[in-house]
Chain A
Amino acid sequence: QKEVEQDPGPLSVPEGAIVSLNCTYSNSAFQYFMWYRQYSRKGPELLMYTYSSGNKEDGRFTAQVDKSSKYISLFIRDSQPSDSATYLCAMSPDNYGQNFVFGPGTRLSVLP
């Protein structure tokens, strides 16, 4: 079993839809959780950064962490074609960069 799993997609939704992207993990020591967005042929860029359980909101994006279920989610409201990208989750037990573990990514297409 991989340490971090993501549905690879592709996930296609119409513009304006609410998108839910999810990751599951097996290491209960993970405490720091991140979502990165990666446009085609570009490097990943950090979208959301959360510590421990709970929700964090930033504009149209909400990150949710459920440590009891070892499950994290990224919700995108009012999705736009510009949200079309691959979304990577990442997590770490201690916020040291060398211990970040990345999921394989979910490819999202938002259709106009």
Chain B
Amino acid sequence: NAGVTQTPKFQVLKTGQSMTLQCAQDMNHEYMSWYRQDPGMGLRLIHYSVGAGITDQGEVPNGYNVSRSTTEDFPLRLLSAAPSQTSVYFCASSYTTGGASYEQYFGPGTRLTVT
């Protein structure tokens, strides 16, 4: 099991550029999520998905899009990068029972800098 994988590990973008952060899991987890981690702020939820074809917004969704066409993959798209999106991005997944999530497994993160 590779667990949760994320690519790329590092990325530098110019303001206005777009890109997709990839996330994949091989644990057949229904629930997947994207967080950003900024100093002093804790992990903040961007978007989440409770299954293929179902996504919803988290606490800080502006400027980001997601889709979930398969159970395994949950890409995060930055539409027009801004310096405020400089952060470390983590993807996580967990199995669910009756909608409730249990242990969230996190990927290694993508460090994004927007200049």
Contacts and interface: CB of A to CB of B under 8 A. Distances in A.
Contact of B41 (A45, A98, A104): A104
B75 interface: no
A88 B41 CA distance: 11
Contact of B108 (A43, A49, A88): A43
Contacts of A94: 100
Contacts of B41: 104
Interface residues of A, number: 22
A97 B101 contact: yes
Given A42-B108, A43-B4, A44-B90, A49 B43 contact: no
Contacts of B45: 98, 100
A49 B109 CA distance: 23
A8 B40 CA distance: 7
Contacts of B40: 8, 104
Nearest to B45: A98
B90 A46 contact: no
Contacts of A88: 42-43
15 contacts: A8-B40, A42-B108, A43-B4, A43-B106, A45-B106, A46-B103, A49-B102, A97-B33, A97-B92, A97-B96, A97-B101, A98-B45, A98-B56, A102-B42, A102-B44
Given A95-B100, A103-B42, 11 more contacts: A43-B90, A43-B108, A43-B109, A90-B43, A97-B33, A97-B94, A98-B48, A98-B56, A100-B45, A104-B42, A105-B42
